[in-house]
Structure 1
Amino acid sequence: MMLGPFLFGAPLALLGLIALPVVWWVLRATPPAPQEAALPSLRLLDDVTPRDETPARTPWWILLLRHVAAAAVIIGLSQPVYAPGASPEGEAAGPVLIVVDNGWTSAARWSEIRSAAAGALDGEGRNTAGHLLLTAPKSLNADPAERLSKTELPQRVNSLDPVAWGVDREDALERLEASGVEPGRIFWVTDGLDPQTAEPFARALAAMAPLTVYAAPPRGPSAITGLSSDAEGANVVVTRADPDGTADRYVSALTLDGAALATSEASFADGEAEATAVFDIPAAALARIARFTITGSEGAGSVWLWDSAARSRRVGLVSGDATAQPLLSDMHYVRKALEPFATITEGELADLIAANPDAIIMTDIGQLAPDLETSVEEWVQKGGALIRFAGPRMATHTDTLVPTPLRRASRAIGGALTWEEPQSIGGFPDTSPFIGLKAPADIKVRQQVLARPDPELANRTWARLTDGSPLVTAAPRGQGMLILFHVTAGPDWSDLPYSGTFVEMLRRAIAAGRGEAVNDGDGTYSPDIVLNGYGRLVSPDSNATPVAASDFSGIVPSETHPPGLYRGPSGTRAINAAADYEAELMTDWPAGVRLLGDAEAKSMRLAGPLLGLAGLLLAIDLIIALAIAGRLPFFNRTAMAAFAGLVLIPASGVMEPEAQAQQFDLNPSPYSYRTSPGYGVDMNVTGEIDKATEAALEMRLAYIETGDTAVDDATRNGLRGISLILYRRTSVEPAEPHAVDPETDALDVYPVIFLGLPDNATPLSSLAVERLNAYLRNGGALVIDTRNGGDMASGDSFDDLDRVLPGLDTPPLAPVPQDHVLTRSFYLLDSFPGRYQDRRLWIESSGVGEKTERRGDGVSRLIIGDADYLAAWAVDERGRPVYSVDGGDEQREMARRFGVNLIMYVLTGNYKEDQVHLPALLERLGEGTGDTPSPDQFDFNNIPPSPDGGPN
């Protein structure tokens, strides 16, 4: 029976409403039992004959409560259904076909779509069958030919969920025609989008039978359709179906495990269907983002997955220089360029290889220890990208981990000693991954490392200068890539680090490590994690299949290739449900189609709620009756006080011991200041202290043991002698020198390490050399004495170092000039004698003189000589010289003074250099006249004096 929008499955039960007046009369005649109270004073009335009493009537509100409960039971038993969209024409002439759009665009209003579809048979007869047709293609879709009863249809519809891909209405129409179903009426529940396919589909359905349509397009933004990112952040494009009016929506940036990192607003203007949410967040947070979601919106289209091709890369950094001033460090510019799109790890090269990042960047490292070079090559062979930047060390020598052979020199472009002008970037070859980048003309290159002519050089060049010389070269090595920037990573040799082009070049170079720049022609991508129809990340099911790498770019989301992250030869790649999607409403419906609004499409079964309401009202009535009769003692004040006591007393018992413990703290922490044994008293350290701790507590000089007893004794005695001189003449008070093993001992606790080379010295191991390289990069100083100065035919006597120290990353060396700080750091010297005289001392050329470009703090980390300085300093346990010196005691004294200058130079760095060049600094502070300012303009009292003829 149908009464307006209400349908009744058992209308005869409504006859019970006739009995409501009788129920009213019975309930009115039976008042609730009165409350009894025994009063002692009533015993005086025991002999009084009681009179007949008339019970009071039941209160009206109790009658109304019971009456409503009875009516709810009667109406509920009639199985009422609220269905304003039920057809008023009566029962359909045949079965009813229910068509449901269950693609990802339906997820936002899926509860309403499912409710409308579940009530499609509510207005039909008891025996009217239903047929269900889903428009999103799926291998286990319901067969439209299957007959569903009025009871089975709601159960089947309520078990459905939206899928993560779009609808295919042409495929649904083909399945319907193949089923042979001839419906008497068709009810289509649609998402109301995509008129290009919805309009012909509606016409085809209307031609089969009378068509009723409920369109439920998503409200607000329906999908994230695109994303772009750069060094400054990410821009998320959001689209909506209805462009009328203004609206503000929010987009959240999440990690893969769902932690929210940032939220940005997307503001829709009136008439605009798209808006952009801009994420300008710190680079460290941007690198952690894995997906973006529209806040408060469901569906696979409201989620955008950020794959490894566009998301953060794992990059390891290894620097050939170490400086306390970040703006003077090459790695500073690399780090700033990488932060927006890479996860950065800095450390030792061996540790980085074990972490297996996408790329490793090395700045100005000429060569590696042999074993470490082999490890790096194996890592590259497995798919890593090794990106190197040139510098003075690479211009001196290099290893095999370069894409093309190099000349052992750097080319200066521009300056006083060359006719050439600084070069600009000439362009990028068609095969270069840098193609499409801008090459601003104001980027000038002033120095570069040149490549040797090679038949493959043109194919290995990714970027050229205007004169055709390579700027960036690259070559595959196994599955990985070797990439070389022929300039420094800092601004020493070029202006490239100052430009945005540098950021994009690094980004594309890093992509060569398991990224989109790798040849993707072969291999497959397997589903790793996928989205369901509600936009939640789930594990892929058995229907999800791998995608060929060559077909990935044109893939369309489907059951076999659902939206999600796929893992393959280039890391992870994403399939997003709404990529480049354009939401458009369906407005042109065929004539004769009956359209239902949101209110008409609602269908609600009321039997359960009404019976539940009746049970609730009866329970309330029972509680009221017991309370009036006094059968609920827990409602009086005494019971409430007892209940409060039961709750509060245990709580106070729990809190009291803690309060007492705080008030009477008899056992304070042994690490507090009150009980610490070292507070206010001298603490004696007992037990053995390891070598590294001793060196950290007291400054000590160190030397490397060579295995040659005579040379090691001379080295140890020499360091003992110069330590004694330093203790007597300066404020430096070295302790007993240490012998160190570079393979096992901590080196960073020593400011300087000495190495005296014996004849036919045994080469150090690769581990020892690599640890020495790390020591030098971290600011340590290595002094090598070849002891060959007595052989006048030996030249400079350090050509054998490549054999003894294979892989030592030595910088370009040059003799110490006369005006160097080594000649003035404590004593005024004009030569550097040792046991032999008239020998040259070699240091890093980048720290020599004012006209040479300095790197870092200008202090050479490698010092090489052959005058046998350690023998000239050597003393025995009584302080007497051990070895003879060519020039006698006078030369020994000058050798000691050089030793003092050397240690002061290593310890004080550019502070002493500034003091040495004070006259030049004062001249530069003048008014441009070239005259030195008068002494009264400066406070010379703050300049510490230097004893024994120092320069200050």
Structure 2
Amino acid sequence: MSGLFASLAFATPWVLAALALLPAIWWLLRLTPPRPEQTTFPPLRLLLSITKQEETPNNSPWWLTLLRLLLIAALIVALAGPTWNPLTRSTTTTGPLWLVIDNGWDAAAGWSQQQDLALKLLDEAVENGRPVLVLASADGPRQTPALTGAPEAREHVRALAPRSWPNDRAQLAPLMQTAASDTPPTTLIWLPSSLQTAEDKIFFQALATYEDTTTIEIFTPDAQVYGLKNLRNNAQSMRLDVTRMNAEEPESPEVLAVDGQGRTIARQRITLASGEKTGTARLDLPADLRNDIARLTLTGHRASGTTFLADERWKRRKVGILTDSLAQETQPLLSARYYLNRALAPFADLPSTRSTDLREAITDLIDKGVTVMVLANIGTLPASAEDQLNRWVENGGTLVRFAGPNMAGESDTLIPVRLRGGDRTLGGSLSWKQPQPIGEFAAEGPFRALTVPTDVTVQRQVLAQPSAELPNKTWASLQDGTPLVTADVRGQGQIVLFHVTADTTWSNLPLSGAFVQMLQAITTNAAARTNAQTDSEPSETSSTMLPPYRVLDGTGQLTTPPPEALPLNETELASLSPSWQHQPGLYGTESAFTAFNLLKAEDEVVGLDLPQELQSAARAYPESEPVDLRAPLWALVLSLALLDSVIRIVLSGALQRRLVQPVLVATLGVSVALAFAPTPSHAQETAADIFALDATLDTRLAYVRTGDAEVDEISRAGLFGLTRVLTARTALEPEAPVGVDLETDELAFFPFLYWPITADMPEPSEAAIARLDAYMRNGGTVLIDTRDQLTAGSGGFSGTPERTKLRTMLESIDVPPLEPVPSDHVLTKTFYILNEFPGRYAGSPLWVQALPAATAQGRRPVRVSDGVSPILITANDMAAAWAIDSNGTYLYPTVPPNPSQREMAFRVGVNILMYVMTGNYKSDQVHIPALLERLGQ
């Protein structure tokens, strides 16, 4: 019974207090006799002689009393507004409602369920007229803790999306305190995501302060959360750890590796047994293919935590090593080759050469495609080898040299700085009294992100000649200011010199972890110089502050960084936690960037653990929709009232006795039918007919639903913004835009469809293609937007996943020949005079149906069968440029940020809609000179 009553709630429960009056009502009904039977009076004599056969009862029959009590009880319960399986347990439907939503990266796993429940709760708030406060835990202190109307709160929730960083619930505590100081809540509902965060204790304490005065409800999700971390590119394979929150069931997630163009390189499925939280995906690929991997994702789980970005740090480069002894050393622990091999092997391939001739060995390594060449204690180079190395460096190679007894002076030109003769030793003529530790790393060098080691000391070094250029060429120095590592740019390459040996005879640097990190930084820097044609001037990323280049959104897709994204300090990359200011993504420039991923190697995904005092407020998501019981109860009340009326008529004798039984049976049947039969549905109340009515009674713009909630919301907000502009500037006044499903919805109602293309959208079925083809043949226009201009550039329909998807779909559609909008096309003058068609991005042409060829007079007609192009194609992301919220705030910045570009995007939208709605009437302007001439006559 407790479960039964737990599934029942009342809108106005105080009305149920009237049920306490049922005993008194029963007592009154029991004493009220029924109406006496009416008979025709005979003469008085006969009346006096009649023997009294029956007594008039003092009490009504028990079954009639029970019927009337049931009627009154049903009336009271109906007035109380019962609901079966209510969304919340709260009995309060008035007062402020606080809705706290977790929208961190882990919310992406169950976001649709979470957002749907939030919208249903706000629908109830709209019905009851409640003020609402919406707080999103990943948005932090940027939010304003102020109550708004439920409709505005609903629009706010519709615009919310999972972020790419973790929740910061602790930041909500001061916001809640500020809001409660004005108006405390009567109901607080928290829709948490799945994972625990470090500072949750502060938020839990804030929630506990409202327990005595507020109804708190927590809907706990049931969604599995995965994470990708700890990428390693070893000599034979690339490995990536896959971790999960719930390890109760065995699972087999699939890791997908793609390159910078979105092309699939490899797929690897791993098996996680029951109780196993972490598994490793191993990609056994050639090194060249592994170097092309730019992103690894988890198939079917779109989130920033299931996307791992790779940069130059995870690419294996070929490094050639040459020492003063080209043959195999008999004592490896005393050789420079041993320490170099051990330091470089974890992140680089080390091709070997069998030649003992230095010139042949250099030629062999260059032919094998090395990016970095390491020369250890090689003094004077043969002239031919020096020339060959010099050409290789100028073409982009990086030469790393280590000092030694053979290189104590300036022996050739392949050194970055001029050297003094001899070397500086501990106790020598150019000596120091004690070993020198490392002082600092240059802020402009590749070691800028490294921590200066405190356990490295130098006993001997080669000295550089002092000069004005020496500080700019120094990457690392000792505490006395003398250089430890110097470098210089030669052409497109660079030369690096360690002023100590690669073994332990001059310092203990080869024994430290800093030696590995320094060589890895040089290799990464060399690869970046090879990929980007740089010059001797410092690049934009030479500073330790790296600007955001691309950031991940909540679905794990790279996008343009928002204005609030700040540069990050490269030296803090290893310890920095992602936030709304430092979002996961790529930082730097297009030619040289650093990946900042969500999860570090030591991170775990831990499920949310509510404290004991809040566990009583937790409940699962409702499995079924709430059912309003007022309609069947009112039907029961009416049917019981009808039955009571019939019974009263029968007992009064107004009906003949032979009709009593049929009337009672019919009345009882009608009562049961009214009480328990489902409410009849009318034809116009079906979803398809409501959709048709909405589409035909008003003009509406429509967009194609892709299945991606974020993309669909951008389309809706974009057409909403364009609708407002059309209403303000033109005679066309469309209503709110609608989304259509190509598979099921009728398209003929809409003159214009906006269709965004995503790389992973399902291809339309043959039936959907046929519907779209019929729509275009009958005068409809489709604007297809690949939204990839920023990554693909202009021209053509290939080169990106979105354009590849578009080409595949266009193969099944009867598409006319296309061309970029010519300068004399009607689209350039339907409302505004335009010569370009930008959106959020600029540069992509707007493709339309090709016009007929030019005439003999050199003119090309602008009129095409009095119709419009059935298809328009762009890559400029038009909807994002048009997108606004209910307050008129632009949701997405233009790239580059330019108010005039947004205005031009709106003008493009107005021209397109005028073109679609009115056809080519503007083409008649070519006849204006002739018409004016005739009027003048």
Structure of higher RCO (CA pairs closer than 8 Å, 6+ residues apart): 1
Q: Please tell me the TM-score bracket, short chain as reference.
A: 0.3 to 0.5
Instruction: Report the TM-score, using the length of structure 2 for normalisation.
Output: 0.41
Instruction: Report the TM-score, using the length of structure 1 for normalisation.
Output: 0.40
Which of the two has higher C-alpha Rg? 1
